[in-house]
């Protein structure tokens, strides 16, 4: 067991031999193998001696207990041998970026362990340390505004943040969702956690340093005054209230150096060689979009009702610049009351709200998550309490061309581009009609395409349909008539001609491959169409039902 | 009217009244009611000639010599403790036992008890009795049970009040007192005084270092150039550090690569959203369904192989009996097998062809033929070789083709390797198995976040992910195996109940 622990701590993993018989004395039975050199390397570790000392300590302690020599027991306990993993962290991650790349595991583990009940499954100290590190990391993400994606799944909540240019993904379980699975080796998990807590601690320190924040984090003086110290006593003892306040995520952190308000300075641009103006432009645009995304909730004031999950919501809202508060009795660190007239959004999760206050939106929590993923504040009408919610899409799925894109996502994409399909067709019916029309167009064009045999053209057309179905009008060219638009058309034709020629010039083998690829694409399109049709059928069925129920209600 | 005093009821407080020694008791009490001291007083005049001292020297030599056992022809005289002294000893023993019993039971001799302790007044009138015998009521059973068995107090633990090494310590204290008079002080005292004279503040006690899992532990910048971890060794000679084993062994480069390319956190498919789109959910359901179907098929296969094929009949008692009797009974059906099969002689191996000895001539001719064939072959090969110069082009083509084939094989091998890398490797006795897909059926899906019921466990997901990335080998929980069979014993108290 000690060897396994050591291997995990040192990052040495079992190895599958190429020739099982050679290493296993001629037997082919499956066993666990480690490389001999790895184990030899392991033996240089100073922790090995510490483990031995610990073994001796346990033996002495047991003996003292057996003889009921209590003074000896106390003395032994005072001198309990302990070890640290700092040097292993340094050894395994020689640079900071290495550590950042491996942060996914560490974060997921810490968040998981911090939700464990304080029962005998693992050390209470470990749980507390995990909680502290997790809260510190959340505070860093808030301070740096680096959250990018959130996904509520049935398993837990997935987050993705961009830490110093590295995407970091982690999963947190829902609160109070505990069944302790029996097929999991808790000792192994605890060993991993032991290492990851050390790693995360050092990473946190460095991250705080990079933002000029104090570590261990201190709540900003101003905010500290706001959180009246007397108030805190109801929630926790003085020793605990620090972490509790920190985990409330409502106050900003103190900086080592006072923040200078010169953030507006434009970054100097260094055009990389070989980069065209277009790429530069695109990059700039991306940057702007990112900045806008970071300030998504700036200026909004939220209030969380007590039935919504407080921590994830507070974290997300604060990550995008919003202000958030909750009921005073719910948690420490509430900054304003329900009755505050400046509240713009109130997050509720019950079918009906009595006594609504004028001047604020009552929304379901999904609005916050969807807005973050869509990178814009979505129209609130779909998220009023009691309204059937639109589906929560996964931001981790990226569609390639030709894939099926659900209509919800299409709508979202359109909104992101700045179009507003809702304004054009406010009523659902119209929308659906539109969709139907689109579908019809799809079909017709599909038939046409089949008659033609140019896959290339077809693909392009499909693309056009996908992106801007309304704009793609069938353009006909009659011989002899020259129009102004012809230039584009000619260019296109020439391009397609060139492509056809290139195809003709292909070698037989390559052509075969090319055809295969094209066939695959076509198949994808076909499947996507099939799914769309299915969806349409489903939608119509739902609509029918709705209508029926409406009629029934009326009658 | 005055009734004679009646002894108290023997309650449990006096559980064993003297039974056998009643007679003797009377005698002793009547003569001198004084315990042990009385005994000797009584004994001394009674047996002045036969009184024996306890020491060996006190024995009368004449008596020893005279000590005859009498006749030995009867069993009675064989008794070891026969004779007057034995008799006396027995009596003393009985007496002592009796006294001890009284002390145990009542806390003293009964003879010394006042009358009120032993008797109560019975007037025949219940009310009067109660008044007269106040405080003498029979105690409750519960109280009796809680009383100690013996009235004699337990001996005191002497050791409890002793100080270990008390005398030695005392001597030492005295020694130091004497030394102090002379002006010599113990070392610790001297140091303390010296420090007091110096007037220095005692050095602050260093707080014990926080362990690695202490929630209050501190961190520092481990990746900075000047970190506490390496500060001690900074600026020293590398060779010196290496030779004195102060420098850590360098981590081998092969450990830099991860054992698998699978991402650490695999995001669940879009259908796993708490409020998925219809298509995504259907797709996820389909995948889960396929897994289930595969499982079912495997189960069915086993079932099918184990079941009795259709059309076969189960053995009945009659067929079983017949089978058992097969070959035991001479039956008339043997006649058909009676004639021997005619195929046997054909199958018998033919006798090997006889080898005649070759003549000299035959040998020579064979030799010549062999030589000729060899020469012809050689010539042909030479001719072919000469001709190959004209085949250069085709040869080159052949080589090229062969090389292309080799390249293709190498690439295929590489691709296979790469594909294998993506899969979890076989690292132990067990194979990695994908965890079951987390899925919620359409009617289980939550309408809002509040009513969401989480599916699966993040802990298991993490554990399986570690296995999938080849970081740990799949294992199963150790099963508890009992070495010996358990033996069931029913306790007596329990058996009485059942």
Residues of chain B neighbouring A90 (CB-CB closer than 8 A): 222-223, 227, 229-230
For the cut 70, the answer to whether the pLDDT of residue A457 exceeds it is: no
Residues of chain A neighbouring B269 (CB-CB closer than 8 A): 394, 397
For the entire predicted model, the pTM comes to 0.64
CA distance B427 to A83: 30
Which letter does DSSP use for residue A22 in this model?
A: H
Residues of chain A neighbouring B463 (CB-CB closer than 8 A): 184-185, 188-189
Nearest chain A residue to B460, by CA: A184
B269 touches chain A (CB under 8 A): yes
Instruction: Indicate the residue of B230, B267, B456 with minimum beta-carbon distance to A169.
Output: B267
Q: Which two tokens stand for residue A43?
A: 């033996």
Alpha carbon separation from B317 to A86, B281, B307, B326, B329 (Å, rounded): 78, 58, 21, 14, 18
User: What is the rounded average pLDDT of the residues B436-446?
Assistant: 84
Instruction: Establish whether the linkage from the previous residue to B468 is cis, with ω within 30° of 0.
Output: no
Tell me if residue A150 falls in helix, strand or coil: strand
Q: pLDDT per residue over A494-542, tens digit each?
A: 999 998 888 888 888 888 889 999 999 999 899 888 888 888 888 888 8
Q: What is the pLDDT of residue B58?
A: 53
For the cut 90, the answer to whether the pLDDT of residue A294 exceeds it is: no
Instruction: Indicate the residue of B211, B267, B275 with minimum beta-carbon distance to A392.
Output: B275
Q: What is the pLDDT of residue A274?
A: 57
Say what percent of chain B tops pLDDT 90.
Answer: 24
User: What is the rounded average pLDDT of the residues A71-80?
Assistant: 91
Q: Answer whether A365 sits within 8 Å of B251, measured CB to CB.
A: no
Band of pLDDT at residue B173, cut at 50, 70 and 90: very high
Centre a 10 Å sphere on the Cβ of residue A281 and count the other Cβ atoms it contains.
10
Best A12, A24, A153, A209 member to test B by mutation, with max B CBs in 10 Å, is A153
Residue A153's φ and ψ, nearest 5 degrees, are -110, 175
Higher per-residue pLDDT: A357 or B8: A357
Q: What is the pLDDT of residue A465?
A: 52
Q: Answer whether A393 sits within 8 Å of B429, measured CB to CB.
A: no
Residues of chain A neighbouring B450 (CB-CB closer than 8 A): 307-308, 349-350
Q: Which two tokens stand for residue B431?
A: 């194979």
Q: Answer whether A181 sits within 8 Å of B279, measured CB to CB.
A: no
Residues of chain A neighbouring B277 (CB-CB closer than 8 A): 391, 393, 406, 408
The most confident of the ranges A129-143, A454-468, B56-70 is A129-143
CA distance B255 to B247: 19
Q: Answer whether A95 sits within 8 Å of B278, measured CB to CB.
A: no
User: What is the rounded average pLDDT of the residues B148-160?
Assistant: 83
Q: Answer whether A154 sits within 8 Å of B438, measured CB to CB.
A: yes
For the cut 60, the answer to whether the pLDDT of residue A197 exceeds it is: yes
CA distance A529 to A443: 9
Query: Could you tell me the end-to-end alpha-carbon distance of chain B, in angstroms, rounded to an integer?
Result: 55
Query: Tokens 């950042």 map to which residue?
Result: A100
CA distance A253 to A212: 10
Q: What is the pLDDT of residue A352?
A: 80
User: What is the rounded average pLDDT of the residues B3-24?
Assistant: 42
Which letter does DSSP use for residue B110 in this model?
A: G
Q: Answer whether B273 sits within 8 Å of A201, measured CB to CB.
A: no
Q: Mean pLDDT check: name the lowest of A80-94, A348-362, A397-411.
A: A397-411
Instruction: Indicate the residue of A125, A169, A389 with minimum beta-carbon distance to B215.
Output: A125
For the cut 60, the answer to whether the pLDDT of residue A340 exceeds it is: yes
User: What is the rounded average pLDDT of the residues A387-415?
Assistant: 78
CA distance A97 to B229: 19
Sign of CA dihedral A404, A406, A409, A411: positive
Band of pLDDT at residue B81, cut at 50, 70 and 90: low
Please give the angle made by the CA atoms of B471, A154 and A134, to the nearest 5 degrees: 60
Q: Answer whether A108 sits within 8 Å of B272, measured CB to CB.
A: no
Task: Provide the total of helices (H) and of strands (E) in chain A, helices listed first.
Answer: 22, 7
C-beta separation of B279 from A406 below 8 A: yes
Residues of chain A neighbouring B259 (CB-CB closer than 8 A): 13
Q: Answer whether A155 sits within 8 Å of B268, measured CB to CB.
A: yes
Q: What is the pLDDT of residue B351?
A: 66
Higher per-residue pLDDT: B16 or A67: A67
Q: Which two tokens stand for residue A71?
A: 């003074």
The most confident of the ranges B159-163, B211-215, B247-251 is B247-251
Q: Which of residues 194-253 of B touch A (CB under 8 A)?
A: 209, 211-215, 217-223, 227, 229-230, 248-249, 251-252
Q: pLDDT per residue over B298-308, tens digit each?
A: 999 999 999 88
Higher per-residue pLDDT: B291 or B53: B291
Q: pLDDT per residue over B272-316, tens digit each?
A: 888 888 888 888 999 999 999 999 999 999 999 998 887 788 888
Helix axes A238-247, A124-144, angle to 10 degrees: 40
Instruction: Indicate the residue of B214, B273, B425 with minimum beta-carbon distance to A153.
Output: B273
C-beta separation of A207 from A147 below 8 A: no
Q: Which two tokens stand for residue A213?
A: 């924040």
Q: Answer whether B229 sits within 8 Å of A90, measured CB to CB.
A: yes
Residues of chain B neighbouring A44 (CB-CB closer than 8 A): 248-249
CATH of domain A297-396: 3.40.50.10190
Q: pLDDT per residue over A212-254, tens digit each?
A: 888 888 776 655 444 444 444 455 555 566 677 777 766 666 6
For the cut 70, the answer to whether the pLDDT of residue B483 exceeds it is: yes
CA distance B269 to B273: 8
Tell me if residue A94 falls in helix, strand or coil: coil
Q: What is the pLDDT of residue A439?
A: 45
Residues of chain B neighbouring A112 (CB-CB closer than 8 A): 458-459, 462
Nearest chain A residue to B250, by CA: A91
C-beta separation of A316 from A322 below 8 A: no
Contacts 24+ apart (CB under 8 A), B169-173: none
- State the DSSP H helix or E strand holding residue A117, giving kind and residue range, or none if neither: none
Band of pLDDT at residue A296, cut at 50, 70 and 90: confident
Please name which of A201, A202, A193, A211 lies closest in space to residue A141, comparing C-alpha atoms. A211
Q: Answer whether B215 sits within 8 Å of A182, measured CB to CB.
A: no
For the cut 70, the answer to whether the pLDDT of residue A113 exceeds it is: yes
Higher per-residue pLDDT: B112 or A276: B112
C-beta separation of A93 from A206 below 8 A: no
Best B205, B208, B218, B219 member to test A by mutation, with max A CBs in 10 Å, is B219
C-beta separation of A263 from A212 below 8 A: no
Residues of chain A neighbouring B226 (CB-CB closer than 8 A): none
The most confident of the ranges A264-273, B246-255, B259-268, B404-413 is B404-413
Residues of chain A neighbouring B251 (CB-CB closer than 8 A): 41, 91-92
Nearest chain A residue to B253, by CA: A92
CA distance A186 to A195: 14
Band of pLDDT at residue B418, cut at 50, 70 and 90: confident
Domain ranges across chain A? 1-79, 90-221+239-248, 297-396, 398-427+509-550
Residues of chain B neighbouring A86 (CB-CB closer than 8 A): 222, 229
Residue A446 to chain B, least CA–CA distance (Å): 22
Centre a 10 Å sphere on the Cβ of residue A206 and count the other Cβ atoms it contains.
20
Which letter does DSSP use for residue A553 in this model?
A: H
Q: Which of residues 277-336 of B touch A (CB under 8 A)?
A: 277-280
Q: Which two tokens stand for residue B164?
A: 């270990």
For the cut 50, the answer to whether the pLDDT of residue A443 exceeds it is: no
Residue B365 region, left (φ>0) first, then alpha (ψ -120 to 50), else beta? alpha
Residues of chain A neighbouring B452 (CB-CB closer than 8 A): 152, 154, 174
User: What is the rounded average pLDDT of the residues A337-351?
Assistant: 86
Label residue B171 exposed, middle or buried (CB < 10 Å: 0-12, 13-18, 19+).
exposed
Residues of chain A neighbouring B462 (CB-CB closer than 8 A): 108-109, 112, 189
Q: If you write DSSP's letter for every residue of B419-431 in order, what string do you get?
A: HHHHSPP--SSSP
A213 DSSP β-pair partners: A255
CA distance B260 to B471: 8
Instruction: Indicate the residue of A33, A151, A183 with minimum beta-carbon distance to B273.
Output: A151
Q: What is the pLDDT of residue B68?
A: 56
Higher per-residue pLDDT: B489 or B169: B169
Residue A325's φ and ψ, nearest 5 degrees, are -150, 175
What is the rounded average pLDDT for all residues in chain A? Answer: 79
Q: What is the pLDDT of residue B245?
A: 82
**A to B CB pairs, distance under 8 Å:** 240
């Amino acid at each position: 067991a000690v060897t396994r622990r050591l291997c995990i701590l040192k990052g040495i993993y079992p190895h599958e031999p190429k020739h099982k018989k050679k290493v296993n004395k001629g037997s082919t039975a499956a066993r666990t193998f480690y490389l001999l050199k790895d184990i030899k390397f392991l033996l240089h570790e100073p922790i090995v001696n510490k483990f031995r000392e610990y073994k001796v300590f346990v033996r002495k302690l047991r003996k003292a207990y057996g003889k009921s020599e209590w003074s000896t027991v106390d003395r032994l306990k005072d001198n309990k041998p302990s070890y640290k993993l700092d040097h292993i962290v340094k050894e395994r991650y020689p640079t900071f970026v290495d550590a950042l790349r491996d942060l996914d595991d560490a974060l997921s583990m810490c968040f998981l362990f911090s939700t464990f009940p304080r029962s005998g499954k693992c050390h209470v100290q470990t749980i507390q340390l995990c909680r502290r590190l997790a809260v510190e990391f959340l505070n860093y993400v808030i301070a740096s505004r680096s959250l990018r994606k959130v996904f509520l799944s049935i398993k837990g909540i997935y987050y993705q943040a961009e830490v110093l240019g590295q995407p970091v993904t982690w999963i947190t379980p829902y609160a109070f969702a505990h069944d302790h699975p029996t097929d999991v080796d808790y000792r192994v998990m605890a060993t991993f956690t032991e290492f990851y807590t050390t790693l995360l601690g050092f990473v946190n320190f460095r991250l705080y340093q990079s933002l000029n924040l104090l570590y261990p984090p201190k709540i900003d003086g101003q905010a500290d005054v706001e959180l009246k110290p007397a108030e805190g006593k109801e929630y926790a003892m003085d020793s605990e209230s620090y972490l509790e306040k920190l985990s409330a995520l409502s106050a900003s952190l103190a900086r080592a150096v006072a923040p200078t308000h010169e953030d507006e300075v434009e970054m100097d641009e260094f055009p990389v060689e070989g980069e065209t103006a277009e790429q530069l432009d695109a990059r700039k645009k991306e940057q702007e979009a990112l900045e806008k995304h970071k300030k998504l909730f700036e200026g909004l004031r939220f209030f969380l009702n007590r039935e919504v999950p407080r921590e994830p919501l507070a974290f997300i809202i604060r990550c995008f610049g919003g202000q958030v508060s909750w009921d005073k009795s719910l948690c420490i660190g509430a900054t304003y009351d329900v009755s505050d007239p400046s509240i713009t959004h109130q997050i509720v999760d019950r079918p009906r709200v009595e006594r609504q206050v004028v001047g604020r939106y009552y929304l379901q929590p999904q609005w916050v998550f969807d807005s973050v993923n869509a990178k814009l504040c979505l129209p609130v009408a779909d998220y009023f309490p009691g309204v059937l919610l639109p589906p929560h899409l996964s931001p981790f799925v990226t569609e390639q061309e030709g894939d099926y894109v659900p209509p919800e996502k299409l709508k979202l994409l359109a909104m992101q581009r700045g179009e507003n399909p809702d304004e054009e067709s406010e009523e659902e019916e119209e929308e659906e009609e539109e969709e139907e029309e689109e579908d019809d167009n799809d079909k017709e064009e599909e038939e046409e395409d089949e008659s033609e045999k140019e896959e290339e053209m077809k693909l392009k057309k499909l693309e056009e349909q996908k992106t801007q179905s309304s704009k793609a009008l069938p353009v006909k060219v009659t011989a002899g008539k020259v129009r102004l638009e012809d230039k584009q058309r000619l260019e296109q034709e020439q391009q397609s001609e060139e492509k056809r020629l290139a195809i003709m010039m292909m070698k037989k083998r390559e052509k075969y491959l090319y055809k295969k690829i094209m066939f695959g694409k076509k198949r994808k399109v076909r499947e996507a169409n099939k799914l769309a049709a299915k969806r349409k059928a489903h939608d119509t069925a739902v609509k029918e039902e709705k209508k029926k129920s409406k009629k029934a209600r009326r009658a | 009217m005055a009734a004679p005093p009646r002894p108290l009821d023997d309650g449990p407080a006096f559980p064993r009244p003297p039974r056998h020694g009643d007679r003797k008791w009377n005698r002793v009490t009547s003569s001198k009611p004084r315990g042990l001291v009385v005994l000797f007083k009584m004994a001394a005049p009674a047996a002045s000639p036969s009184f024996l001292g306890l020491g060996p020297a006190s024995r009368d030599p004449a008596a020893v010599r005279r000590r005859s056992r009498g006749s030995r022809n009867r069993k009675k005289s064989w008794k070891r403790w026969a004779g007057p002294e034995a008799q006396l000893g027995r009596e003393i023993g009985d007496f002592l036992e009796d006294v001890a019993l009284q002390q145990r039971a009542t806390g003293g001799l009964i003879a010394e008890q006042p009358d009120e302790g032993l008797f109560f007044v019975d007037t025949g009138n219940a009310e009067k009795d109660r008044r007269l015998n106040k405080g003498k009521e029979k105690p409750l059973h519960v109280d009796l049970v809680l009383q100690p068995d013996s009235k004699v107090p337990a001996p005191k633990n002497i050791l409890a009040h002793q100080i270990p090494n008390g005398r030695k310590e005392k001597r030492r204290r005295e020694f130091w007192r004497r030394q102090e008079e002379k002006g010599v002080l113990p070392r610790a005292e001297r140091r303390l005084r010296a420090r007091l004279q110096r007037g220095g503040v005692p050095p602050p006690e260093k707080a014990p270092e926080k362990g690695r899992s202490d929630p209050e532990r501190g961190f520092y910048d481990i990746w900075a150039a000047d970190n506490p971890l390496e500060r001690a060794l900074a600026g020293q000679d590398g060779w010196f550090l290496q030779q004195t084993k102060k420098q850590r062994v360098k981590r081998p480069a092969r450990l830099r690569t991860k054992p698998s390319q699978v991402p650490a956190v695999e995001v669940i498919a879009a259908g796993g959203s708490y409020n998925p789109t219809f298509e995504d959910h259907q797709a996820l359901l389909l995948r889960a369904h396929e897994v289930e179907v595969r499982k079912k098929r495997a189960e069915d296969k086993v079932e099918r192989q184990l079941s009795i094929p259709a059309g076969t009949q189960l053995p009945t008692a009659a067929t079983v009996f017949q089978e058992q009797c097969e070959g035991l009974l001479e039956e008339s059906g043997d006649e058909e097998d009676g004639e021997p099969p005619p195929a046997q002689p054909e199958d018998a191996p033919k006798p090997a062809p006889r080898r005649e000895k070759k003549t000299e001539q035959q040998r020579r001719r064979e030799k010549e033929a062999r030589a000729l064939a060899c020469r012809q072959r050689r010539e042909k090969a030479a001719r072919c070789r000469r001709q190959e110069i004209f085949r250069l082009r085709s040869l080159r083509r052949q080589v090229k083709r062969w090389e292309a084939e080799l390249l293709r094989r190498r690439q295929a091998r590489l691709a296979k390797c790469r594909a294998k890398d993506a899969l979890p490797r076989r690292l132990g006795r067990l194979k990695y198995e994908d965890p079951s897909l987390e899925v919620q059926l359409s009617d289980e899906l939550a309408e809002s976040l509040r009513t969401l019921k989480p599916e699966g466990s993040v802990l298991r997901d993490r554990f399986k992910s570690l296995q999938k990335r080849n970081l740990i080998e799949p294992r199963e929980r150790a099963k508890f195996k009992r070495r010996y069979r358990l033996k069931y014993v029913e306790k007596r108290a329990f058996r009485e109940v059942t």
